[in-house]
Amino acid sequence: MLTIILLTACRPAPPLCLVVRERDDACAYVAAPGDTVIPFGRYSTAATKRFDRLALVLKPGVGWVGINRQEQVLFRAYLFDNGPDYPAEGLMRIVSATGLIGYADTATGRVVLPPRYEAAFPFDSGRAQVGSRCRSETDGEHSWWRCAEWHYIDHEGRPVPPALP
Protein backbone atom coordinates (compact mmCIF):
# COMPACT_ATOMS: atom_id res chain seq x y z
CA MET A 1 0.00 0.00 0.00
CA LEU A 2 2.82 2.43 0.76
CA THR A 3 4.26 2.01 -2.74
CA ILE A 4 0.96 3.02 -4.34
CA ILE A 5 0.74 6.12 -2.17
CA LEU A 6 4.30 7.17 -3.07
CA LEU A 7 3.71 6.63 -6.78
CA THR A 8 0.51 8.66 -6.64
CA ALA A 9 2.22 11.44 -4.69
CA CYS A 10 5.03 11.67 -7.27
CA ARG A 11 2.73 11.81 -10.30
CA PRO A 12 2.57 15.33 -11.76
CA ALA A 13 -0.75 17.13 -11.54
CA PRO A 14 -2.75 17.14 -14.80
CA PRO A 15 -2.65 20.43 -16.68
CA LEU A 16 -5.40 22.95 -16.14
CA CYS A 17 -7.18 24.36 -19.16
CA LEU A 18 -8.32 27.94 -19.60
CA VAL A 19 -12.06 28.46 -20.07
CA VAL A 20 -13.42 31.85 -21.13
CA ARG A 21 -17.09 32.62 -20.56
CA GLU A 22 -18.71 34.12 -23.70
CA ARG A 23 -21.15 36.50 -22.00
CA ASP A 24 -18.51 38.50 -20.05
CA ASP A 25 -15.06 37.16 -21.12
CA ALA A 26 -14.39 36.04 -17.53
CA CYS A 27 -11.82 33.25 -17.27
CA ALA A 28 -11.33 30.18 -15.11
CA TYR A 29 -9.00 27.18 -15.03
CA VAL A 30 -10.48 23.70 -15.00
CA ALA A 31 -8.90 20.26 -14.59
CA ALA A 32 -11.80 18.37 -16.20
CA PRO A 33 -15.39 19.20 -17.13
CA GLY A 34 -17.14 20.24 -13.93
CA ASP A 35 -13.87 20.44 -11.93
CA THR A 36 -13.07 24.16 -11.65
CA VAL A 37 -9.76 24.68 -9.88
CA ILE A 38 -9.47 28.47 -10.25
CA PRO A 39 -12.95 30.01 -10.41
CA PHE A 40 -14.30 32.66 -12.76
CA GLY A 41 -13.61 36.22 -11.62
CA ARG A 42 -10.38 35.59 -9.70
CA TYR A 43 -8.32 37.05 -12.57
CA SER A 44 -9.38 39.62 -15.18
CA THR A 45 -7.89 37.59 -18.03
CA ALA A 46 -5.19 35.02 -18.67
CA ALA A 47 -2.53 34.53 -21.34
CA THR A 48 -1.82 30.86 -20.58
CA LYS A 49 -4.18 28.33 -22.16
CA ARG A 50 -2.53 25.19 -20.73
CA PHE A 51 -1.51 25.64 -17.08
CA ASP A 52 1.07 23.03 -16.11
CA ARG A 53 3.30 24.78 -13.55
CA LEU A 54 3.04 28.45 -14.56
CA ALA A 55 0.22 30.69 -15.75
CA LEU A 56 0.32 34.34 -16.77
CA VAL A 57 -2.76 36.09 -15.45
CA LEU A 58 -3.96 39.66 -15.07
CA LYS A 59 -4.42 40.16 -11.34
CA PRO A 60 -6.70 43.10 -10.42
CA GLY A 61 -4.76 45.94 -8.81
CA VAL A 62 -1.40 44.30 -9.52
CA GLY A 63 -1.10 43.72 -13.28
CA TRP A 64 0.25 40.77 -15.27
CA VAL A 65 1.89 38.20 -13.00
CA GLY A 66 3.18 34.65 -13.17
CA ILE A 67 1.49 32.30 -10.72
CA ASN A 68 2.04 28.67 -9.71
CA ARG A 69 -0.67 26.06 -9.13
CA GLN A 70 -1.13 27.31 -5.54
CA GLU A 71 -1.77 30.80 -7.04
CA GLN A 72 1.35 32.25 -5.44
CA VAL A 73 2.71 35.21 -7.40
CA LEU A 74 6.16 34.25 -8.67
CA PHE A 75 6.96 37.46 -10.56
CA ARG A 76 5.52 40.50 -12.33
CA ALA A 77 5.64 40.16 -16.11
CA TYR A 78 7.42 42.74 -18.24
CA LEU A 79 4.84 44.33 -20.55
CA PHE A 80 5.33 44.30 -24.30
CA ASP A 81 2.68 44.89 -26.98
CA ASN A 82 -0.07 45.48 -24.36
CA GLY A 83 0.47 42.17 -22.55
CA PRO A 84 3.05 39.96 -20.91
CA ASP A 85 6.38 39.60 -22.70
CA TYR A 86 6.81 36.93 -25.37
CA PRO A 87 8.97 33.95 -24.39
CA ALA A 88 12.32 33.52 -26.11
CA GLU A 89 14.61 30.53 -25.59
CA GLY A 90 12.48 29.37 -22.65
CA LEU A 91 12.78 32.68 -20.81
CA MET A 92 10.64 35.77 -20.51
CA ARG A 93 11.41 39.21 -19.15
CA ILE A 94 10.07 40.10 -15.72
CA VAL A 95 10.07 43.42 -13.86
CA SER A 96 10.50 44.53 -10.26
CA ALA A 97 8.39 47.15 -8.50
CA THR A 98 11.21 49.65 -9.17
CA GLY A 99 11.25 48.91 -12.92
CA LEU A 100 14.39 46.77 -13.12
CA ILE A 101 14.24 43.86 -15.57
CA GLY A 102 15.20 40.20 -15.12
CA TYR A 103 14.27 36.82 -16.60
CA ALA A 104 12.11 33.85 -15.54
CA ASP A 105 11.86 30.30 -16.88
CA THR A 106 8.60 29.99 -18.84
CA ALA A 107 8.07 26.31 -17.96
CA THR A 108 8.50 26.52 -14.19
CA GLY A 109 8.18 30.21 -13.32
CA ARG A 110 11.54 30.10 -11.54
CA VAL A 111 13.34 33.45 -11.60
CA VAL A 112 16.67 32.62 -13.27
CA LEU A 113 18.07 36.16 -13.43
CA PRO A 114 16.60 38.48 -10.78
CA PRO A 115 15.59 41.97 -11.96
CA ARG A 116 18.76 44.08 -11.98
CA TYR A 117 18.94 45.54 -15.50
CA GLU A 118 17.64 48.98 -16.43
CA ALA A 119 17.09 47.80 -20.02
CA ALA A 120 16.95 44.25 -21.37
CA PHE A 121 16.01 42.63 -24.64
CA PRO A 122 14.76 39.05 -25.15
CA PHE A 123 17.32 36.29 -25.58
CA ASP A 124 18.42 35.47 -29.11
CA SER A 125 21.02 32.82 -30.01
CA GLY A 126 21.92 32.30 -26.35
CA ARG A 127 22.49 35.95 -25.46
CA ALA A 128 20.52 39.02 -24.45
CA GLN A 129 21.50 42.66 -24.71
CA VAL A 130 21.18 44.53 -21.41
CA GLY A 131 21.89 48.14 -20.50
CA SER A 132 22.78 50.32 -17.56
CA ARG A 133 22.45 54.05 -16.85
CA CYS A 134 19.40 54.15 -19.12
CA ARG A 135 16.51 56.44 -19.75
CA SER A 136 13.35 55.72 -21.68
CA GLU A 137 12.50 57.90 -24.67
CA THR A 138 9.33 58.05 -26.75
CA ASP A 139 7.90 59.67 -29.87
CA GLY A 140 4.36 59.34 -28.50
CA GLU A 141 3.64 55.98 -30.12
CA HIS A 142 6.89 54.04 -29.74
CA SER A 143 9.41 53.98 -26.92
CA TRP A 144 13.02 52.87 -26.65
CA TRP A 145 15.94 52.90 -24.23
CA ARG A 146 18.93 55.18 -24.46
CA CYS A 147 21.69 53.68 -22.29
CA ALA A 148 25.21 54.80 -21.45
CA GLU A 149 26.40 51.18 -21.44
CA TRP A 150 25.22 48.11 -23.33
CA HIS A 151 26.55 44.57 -23.04
CA TYR A 152 25.45 40.99 -23.66
CA ILE A 153 24.76 38.23 -21.13
CA ASP A 154 24.16 34.49 -21.38
CA HIS A 155 21.34 32.51 -19.71
CA GLU A 156 23.28 32.53 -16.42
CA GLY A 157 23.83 36.32 -16.52
CA ARG A 158 27.53 36.06 -17.38
CA PRO A 159 28.96 38.64 -19.80
CA VAL A 160 29.47 37.33 -23.34
CA PRO A 161 30.76 38.96 -26.53
CA PRO A 162 28.25 40.26 -29.08
CA ALA A 163 27.29 37.94 -31.93
CA LEU A 164 29.46 38.14 -35.02
CA PRO A 165 27.80 39.70 -38.10
pLDDT tens for 21-68 read 888 888 899 987 778 889 998 998 999 999 999 999 999 899 999 999
Residue 6 pLDDT exceeds 80: no
Burial (CB count within 10 angstroms: exposed 0-12, middle 13-18, buried 19+), residue 34: exposed
Average pLDDT, the chain: 89
Q: What is the pTM of this model?
A: 0.86
Q: pLDDT-derived band of residue 8, with 50, 70 and 90 as boundaries?
A: very low
pLDDT tens for 120-161 read 999 999 999 999 999 999 998 888 999 999 999 999 999 998
Collapsing DSSP to helix, strand or coil, 159 comes out as strand
